Amino acid sequence: PLSGDSICAPLEKMLRRNRFAPQAQGRARQDLQPEVARLCELVTPAVHQFSAQEVCRLVDVLTELSDWDSVFRQSYRGQPQLFGAIERRIVDPAILNSLKKAQGSRLIWGFGKMGVALGDAAREVGNRLANGDQLTGRQLAKVTLGLAKAQIRDLALLGALADHAVRLDVISDCDAQGIANIAWSYAKLGINNQAL
């Protein structure tokens, strides 16, 4: 199987070269869809050997690709094998226990931004973040925003994140955008947390 670097480096290079290129149109757009599917099929068998850093790097690249052209985001929905492999890797105790706060918040945010549900992994990573060292305001905003965008309405997890934020005064670390993102996320999920 391919390594994390041999997968991510060329994709990152492609993103840098094409960052300001217009989205594919017409025939080129139709041709891009099977290429995205093929990319996902090539990456899937390698994910089981990725380190925590490589998993995060892959999710970052996939998220950036979905921002660059909506064909990626649309195609991801048809790739449960890839995202299942990523989720299984994230919940592997060796990976989960080695995730840093910034990595965990980026993972949840990235999946939400791509519109891909991250069920058990979101709960595991979110609970690890909520019960660990203090999150920054930005990290809390990313986690809650990712959960809301992926429509993960886990009351226990969102309650634990709110308790963490209140207990450790994380909100005072937030800028106006972070506060707005947290408030929007809880509202989007239909949760009224009085403590926040």
Read off the pLDDT of each residue in 37-60 and give the average, rounded to a whole number: 95
Neighbouring residues of 165: CB distance < 8 A, sequence distance ≥ 6:
135, 140, 171, 182, 196
At position 121, the amino acid (one-letter code) is A
Burial class (CB in 10 A: 0-12, 13-18, 19+), 150: buried
For the cut 90, the answer to whether the pLDDT of residue 68 exceeds it is: no
Instruction: Read off the pLDDT band of 95 (50, 70, 90).
Output: very high
Given a cut of 70, whether residue 1 has pLDDT beyond it is: no
Burial 38-61 (b: 16+ CB within 10 A, else e): ebbeebbebbeebebebbbbbbbb
The string of DSSP codes covering 63-120 is HHHHHH-HHHHHHHTT-HHHHHHHHHHHHSHHHHTT--HHHHHHHHHHHHHHT---HH
Question: What is the reported pTM?
Answer: 0.88
Report residue 29: phi and psi, to 5°.
-70, -45
Predicted confidence at residue 41, as pLDDT, reads 93
- pLDDT band of residue 192 (cuts 50, 70, 90) is confident
Q: Which amino acid is at 147?
A: L
CA gap 104, 95 in Å, rounded = 11
Phi and psi at 10, nearest 5°, equal -65, -35
Tokens at 69, concatenated: 């052209």
Mean pLDDT of the chain: 90
Percent of the chain with pLDDT over 70: 99
Q: What's the mean pLDDT in 155-178?
A: 90
Closest CA to 47 of 93, 97, 83: 83
